[in-house]
Amino acid sequence: MEHTIVRTEKFNAYFGANHVVKDVNISIPKNNVVAVMGPSGCGKTTFLRCINRMHELIAGATCEGEMLLNNEDVYDMHPIFVRLKIGMVFQRPNPFPNLSIYDNVIAGYKLNGIKMAKAEKDKIVENSLSRAALWNEVKDSLHKKGTFLSGGQQQRLCIARAIAMEPEVLLLDEPTSALDPISTASVEELLFELKKNYTLIIVTHNMQQAARVSDRTAFFYLGELVEYDDTKQMFTNPKDTRTQNYITGRFS
């Protein structure tokens, strides 16, 4: 049995009176890539944002149920601590425009006021950028602003920034939706490498992407978790008719 890192128990999320995530029970095994897919508005992004408690930052947003990280409820922990343990990469690359590439990578330390020796910082920067497959492209321009990079490079910079904090889980919210096909390919390739060290949960509305990158896939529909299985199983032999309709393109 694989070690479970994130588990939910009857998890619900709301925007005001709007019930967007309904009774979700899911177990996410360590060092896996789990794709969360579904049509627009099915609650997949909201669910993702509940995992590191970003959901509650929106006015009127609430949630209930258990959200366990290593069997500890994240809603009993301090949100800041949760977000250090669970990193996040957003739909659009959002490097800090006022910081250099170098400072962007260590932003989590620098902006939190954690002092480090230069050698240590250098090591984290090189390590994180290498693992984000960006080191070779930017090693000569580390002190340029992060916003000078192309969209795909910026997104990998954001991934480097998230993994520099050594999180246990990395959440990716449609990380390639704003990228061109070549950048998308490089980010997808990266996910494959990253799962050696991290557990990745990726939201995508692109089925091909879910099929390509993930070990397991969760299908959300109208706020419900309809089906959750091995990716291969899910795409070759879905159990639920709604899943079947979705992956055969009968609705999107």
Partner 1 sequence: MFKTLVILFASACVIPLLAILGYIIKEGITKINWSFFVNVPKPVGEAGGGIANALVGSFIIVGVAAIMAIPVGILSGIYLSENKTSKLAYWSRLSVDILQGVPSIVIGIVVYFWIVKPIGSFSAISGSVALAIMMLPIIVRSTEETLKLLPDTLKEAALALGMPYHRMILKVILPCGIGGILSGVMLSVARIAGETAPLLFTAFGNPYLSTNITKPMHSLPLLIFNYATSPYDDWHNLAWGASLILLLWVLLLNIITKLTTRKWNIQL
Note the residues at the interface with partner 1 (CB under 8 A): 52, 54, 57, 59, 80-84, 87-88, 90, 92, 94-98, 107-108, 111-113, 145, 147, 158, 161-162, 165
Nearest to 14 by CA among 6, 26, 22, 24: 22
Q: Which is nearer to partner 1, 77 or 185 (CB)?
A: 77
Strands 61-69 and 72-73, bridge-based pairing: antiparallel
- Smallest distance, Å, CB 219 to partner 1? 25
- Smallest distance, Å, CB 203 to partner 1? 14
Q: Which is nearer to partner 1, 94 or 245 (CB)?
A: 94
Q: Which is nearer to partner 1, 81 or 192 (CB)?
A: 81
Q: Which is nearer to partner 1, 8 or 52 (CB)?
A: 52
- Smallest distance, Å, CB 61 to partner 1? 13
Q: Which is nearer to partner 1, 108 or 223 (CB)?
A: 108
Q: Which is nearer to partner 1, 107 or 225 (CB)?
A: 107
- Smallest distance, Å, CB 147 to partner 1? 5
Q: Which is nearer to partner 1, 95 or 238 (CB)?
A: 95
- Smallest distance, Å, CB 144 to partner 1? 12
- Smallest distance, Å, CB 98 to partner 1? 4
- Smallest distance, Å, CB 2 to partner 1? 26
Separation CA 118–CA 22 (nearest Å) = 47
> What is the strand order of the sheet 18-29 is part of?
72-73, 61-69, 4-15, 18-29, 224-230, 216-221, 33-37, 199-204, 169-173, 86-89
Tokens of 12: 């619900």
